[in-house]
Structure 1
Amino acid sequence: MGSVVISLDAELGWGFHDLADPPAERVEAGRRGWSVMVELLEEFDVPATWAIVGHLMLDDCDGTHAEHPAPDGWFERERTEWADRDDLRFGPDLVSDVLESDVDHEFASHSFSHVLFGRPETDHELAVAELDRCHEIADAWDQSISSFIYPRNDVGHRDVLAEQGIAAYRGKSPTRDGVRGVFDSTIRDQSMLVEPSVDEYGLVNVPASMFLFGFEGPARTVAESIWEDPMVVLARRGIEEAARTDGIFHMWLHPNNLTHERDDRRMRAILSHLERQRTATDLTVETLADVAERVAGASCLDERATVSWS
């Protein structure tokens, strides 16, 4: 029985605050895309893993974060250019929409302030502080964290995740994005299914299969004019392959990727196809936590069987 996983990197302005020239259109689309995705997932009854930047769950702050061991200037944009942009820095209303949804979404972490865990300047102390703060905020919201999605998929400090009680993370995709990904899948018939594994820290790595907004700009416009949305084509292929097998097809996106109605149409087309496949086959939808529980349980059974055999 195959399954589909959808994970979302929910970050509003925090996904761009460290960039010299943030993409204005996506920065401003964060709230819109978030609400659209909540509505679409409810419409099609699809549970997803929402990895949320912890700072969004605050109602306010002074912008200094004096006790946080971030590098100098890390919170500079919050203190200056975005000081009056509460809509980019905070989102408790949006978080509530996810938690109060009729769909059983997974609440996961995307760090406290979108720190890049794989960078040399992110030391052990900073990684611990980011997760400590997330746990504190989650506790205040009566939530727990079992899955982590690395900002910009920059994997690092997995030992800290394990120490902090995290069970799963989204690993790097074995497939390519954009035009190369379309070529690999449609021409070379490369599978987009992924195999979760338990790493040396006991964490379950659930690799990404496909970034749903990896084919954009003029190339997308041209492709849609002579064919159809390539991302919808690839997503259908992945969903159908999962339905035929025992594999996992793991799609991911940011809510801020939904900048226009055509992006909404992309997601509606993908979710409606998922609904049809779920109805016609044994295909299921899982969260990262669901996969981790299943894979870790199977791993423990394998270990017990090995010990018993030896």
Structure 2
Amino acid sequence: MGSLVISIDAELGWGFHDLADPPESRVESGRRGWRRLLALLDRFDVPATWAVVSHLMLDRCDGRHADHPAPPGWFERERGAWADRPDLRFAPDLVAGILAADPDHELAAHSFSHVLFGDPETTPEIAREEYERSREIAARWGLVVDSFVYPRNDVGHLDVLADCGFRAYRGRSPTPEGIRGVADAAIRDRSSLVHPRIDEFGLVSIPASLFAFGFEGRLRSIAESVWTDPIVARARRGIDRAATDDGVFHLWLHPNNLRATRDDDRMAAILEYAAEVRAESALEIETMGEVADRVGPSRTGDRNEATTRTERII
């Protein structure tokens, strides 16, 4: 049968530092949502892949990163407007919470500073630096990260990703988001299951199925008032399919999507349903790393070796 995978883009301020006008409500909801999501996963004993921007695993830096080949101004907000906001730049306490949780979460990489890997300005040199720093900072924690989630799902430089020792990444979703996605699932009965594959670089691509907060605003309120939360309905449909068919239902979200009780309730409903189906069927709940172990080539040699450049990183 199939499985459920949940991947989480954990980024705090780094998810928005390059934007001229960051969405304040989401920026300020990052820590709240992180803790709520961790608690919900613990409540229903659901493991997830936490893809963390590795800068958050530091407890200090100079805000300049002069040896990083990023374009000029890339770290401007860190040392400027957010210089006095360590809560947006660092989160070793939150990362420690992932590692201490009862479910066997996977710690994955979400880059060092939320670079957009498909952007023409992101050279192979920049990509390599972001990939390598992610693994090296994890090594300082005694961890090896094998899975990668691309910021804003902007996939790029896969050859470098493989060369840096990663094994898997979240691929682009083959299904639409928002109202079109809801229509495809509800009206056309289109399946949200995806099928992981080994790409030309030997990496396991695990496509996304559903963004848990891709149907928001006024349309969400209207739908909930006359029917039910369409995302919960679509997630349940995907979980049901995974319980009976081969494939993966791959749900993803950010902690900062959990801004209010209604958002907590959405995730609680999905996780509770997943736990119930798991108990009554052959459904597996896996991490991206576990999918890679099942689908991809075995671990070999020093693809999993990570070295530390502590003095360069900080």
Question: For this structure pair, what is the TM-score category when the shorter chain's length is used for normalisation?
Answer: over 0.9
Aligned counterpart, 1:89: 89
Q: CA deviation at 1:60?
A: 1.0
Q: Distance in 2 between matches of 1:142 and 1:83?
A: 28
Q: CA deviation at 1:135?
A: 1.7
Q: Distance in 2 between matches of 1:229 and 1:12?
A: 26
Aligned counterpart, 1:157: 157
Q: Which amino acid aligns with 2:243?
A: A
Other structure's SS at 1:69 match: coil
Other structure's SS at 1:191 match: coil
- C-alpha deviations, 1:242-275, integer Å up to 9, x for none? 1011221000000000000100000000000001
Q: Distance in 2 between matches of 1:44 and 1:160?
A: 37
Q: Distance in 2 between matches of 1:160 and 1:297?
A: 18
Q: Distance in 1 between matches of 2:14 and 2:158?
A: 22
Q: Distance in 2 between matches of 1:89 and 1:182?
A: 35
Aligned counterpart, 2:312: none
- C-alpha deviations, 1:140-191, integer Å up to 9, x for none? 1001010000000000000111001100000000001110000011001111
Q: CA deviation at 1:283?
A: 0.4
Q: Distance in 2 between matches of 1:29 and 1:193?
A: 30
- C-alpha deviations, 1:267-307, integer Å up to 9, x for none? 00000000110011010101111111111159xxxxxxxxx
RMSD: 0.8
Q: Distance in 2 between matches of 1:15 and 1:296?
A: 30
Q: Distance in 2 between matches of 1:297 and 1:201?
A: 12
How do 1:100-115 residues align onto structure 2 when only pairs under 5 Å count?
A: 100-115=100-115
Aligned counterpart, 1:293: 293
Q: Distance in 2 between matches of 1:218 and 1:261?
A: 17
Q: Distance in 2 between matches of 1:43 and 1:221?
A: 27
Aligned counterpart, 1:185: 185
Q: Distance in 1 between matches of 2:3 and 2:297?
A: 17
Q: How many matched pairs?
A: 298
Other structure's SS at 1:262 match: helix
How do 1:13-92 residues align onto structure 2 when only pairs under 5 Å count?
A: 13-92=13-92
Aligned counterpart, 2:204: 204
Q: Which amino acid aligns with 1:181?
A: G
Segments of 4+ in structure 1 off by > 4 A?
none
Aligned counterpart, 1:119: 119
Aligned counterpart, 1:195: 195
Q: CA deviation at 1:103?
A: 1.0
Percent of residue pairs bearing the same amino acid type = 63
Aligned counterpart, 2:129: 129
Q: Distance in 2 between matches of 1:63 and 1:277?
A: 46
- C-alpha deviations, 1:184-210, integer Å up to 9, x for none? 110011110001110000000000000
Q: Which amino acid aligns with 1:192?
A: S
Q: Which amino acid aligns with 2:253?
A: L
Q: Distance in 2 between matches of 1:110 and 1:224?
A: 32
Aligned counterpart, 1:265: 265
- C-alpha deviations, 1:106-149, integer Å up to 9, x for none? 01000000000111000011001111211221111001010000
Other structure's SS at 2:296 match: helix
135-144 vs 258-267, which moves further: 135-144
TM-score normalised by length of structure 2: 0.94
Aligned counterpart, 1:230: 230
Other structure's SS at 1:103 match: coil
Q: Which amino acid aligns with 1:118?
A: G
Q: Which amino acid aligns with 2:174?
A: P
TM-score normalised by length of structure 1: 0.95
How do 1:132-147 residues align onto structure 2 when only pairs under 5 Å count?
A: 132-147=132-147
Q: Which amino acid aligns with 2:186?
A: T
Other structure's SS at 1:35 match: helix
Aligned counterpart, 2:311: none
Q: Which amino acid aligns with 1:238?
A: G
